Structure 1
Amino acid sequence: MSSHKVILVLLDGLNATTGLQCMGYSQALCQQGLGRAYTLECELPSMSRPLYECVLTGVPPAQSGIYHNNVVRLSHGQSIFHYARAAGLTTAAAAYHWVSELYNHAPFNAASDRHTANPALPIQYGHFYYHDAYPDSHLFDDAEHLRRTHAPHFMLVHPMNIDDAGHQAGYDSSTYRNAARKADIALSGYLQAWLDDGYQVIVTADHGMNNDRSHGGILPEERQVPFYTFGSAFSLADAAIRQTDICGTVCQLLGVAHDKPVCAELLA
Structure 2
Amino acid sequence: MSNKVILAVLDGLNYQVARDCMGYLNGLIEQQRATLYPIQCELPSLSRPLYECILTGIRPIDSGIVNNNIVRLSHNDSIFSIAKSQNRTTAAAAYSWVSELYNRAPFNAVRDRFTHNDNLNIQYGCFYQWDHYPDEALLLDAEYLRLAHHPDFLLIHPMNIDDMGHKFGLDSKQYRNTVRNVDIYLSNYIESWLDDGYQVIITSDHGMNNDLSHGGILAEEREVPFFVIGSKFMHQDCEVKQTDICGIVCELMNLNHDKPYPRELLLQ
CA distance, structure 2, for counterparts of residue 192 and residue 220 of structure 1:
32
| More displaced stretch, 255-264 vs 107-116 | 255-264
Q: Which aligned pairs between 1:176-191 and structure 2 lie closer than 5 A?
A: 176-191=175-190
The Cα of 1:266 is off from its aligned counterpart by 1.2
Paired residue secondary structure (2:91): strand
Runs of 5+ in structure 1 lacking a partner?
none
Shift in Å, 1:264: 1.2
Q: CA deviation at 1:105?
A: 0.4
**Secondary structure at the counterpart of residue 53 of structure 1:** helix
How much does 1:3 deviate? 5.5
* Separation of aligned partners in 2, 1:244 and 1:81: 16
In the aligned structure 1, how far is the partner of 2:23 from the partner of 2:167?
A: 23
Instruction: For residue 222 of structure 1, give the secondary structure of its aligned residue in structure 2.
Output: helix
User: What secondary structure sits across from 2:11 in the alignment?
Assistant: coil
Q: State the shift of 1:146 in Å.
A: 0.1
Cα distance between partner residues in 1 of 2:65 and 2:48: 7
How many residue pairs were aligned?
Answer: 267
- 2:45 partner amino acid: S
Question: Which amino acid in structure 2 is aligned with residue 222 of structure 1?
Answer: E
For 2:245 and 2:263, the matched residues in 1 are separated by: 11
Q: Is the aligned partner of 1:172 residue 2:171?
A: yes
In structure 2, C-alpha distance between the alignment counterparts of 1:12 and 1:264, rounded to whole Å: 26
Give the partner amino acid of 1:118: N
Deviation digits for residues 64-104 of structure 1, max 9, x if unmatched?
Answer: 00000000000000100011111110000000000000000
CA distance, structure 2, for counterparts of residue 265 and residue 115 of structure 1: 38
Partner of 1:129: 128
Aligned equivalent of 2:248 = 249
Aligned to 2:194: 195
Q: Is the 8 A contact 1:3 1:255 kept in 2?
A: no
Percent identical = 60
Letter in 2 for 1:199: Y
Structure 2: which 5+ residue stretches go unaligned?
none
Structure 1 residue 119: deviation in Å? 0.8
CA distance in 1, matches of 2:180, 2:66: 31
Which residue in the other structure is 1:89 paired with? 88
Q: Secondary structure at the match of 2:87?
A: coil
- Supply the AA of the counterpart residue of 2:227: Y
Whole-Å separation in 2 of the counterparts to 1:3 and 1:186: 24
TM-score (norm 1): 0.99
Alpha-carbon offset, residue 33 of structure 1: 0.9
Alpha-carbon distance between aligned partners in 2 of 1:97 and 1:263, rounded to the nearest angstrom: 30
CA contact under 8 A between 2:2 and 2:198: conserved in structure 1? Answer: no
Q: Given that residues 246 and 263 in structure 1 are in contact (C-alpha distance below 8 angstroms), is that contact kept between their aligned partners in structure 2?
A: no
Query: Cα RMSD (Å) of the superposition?
Result: 0.7
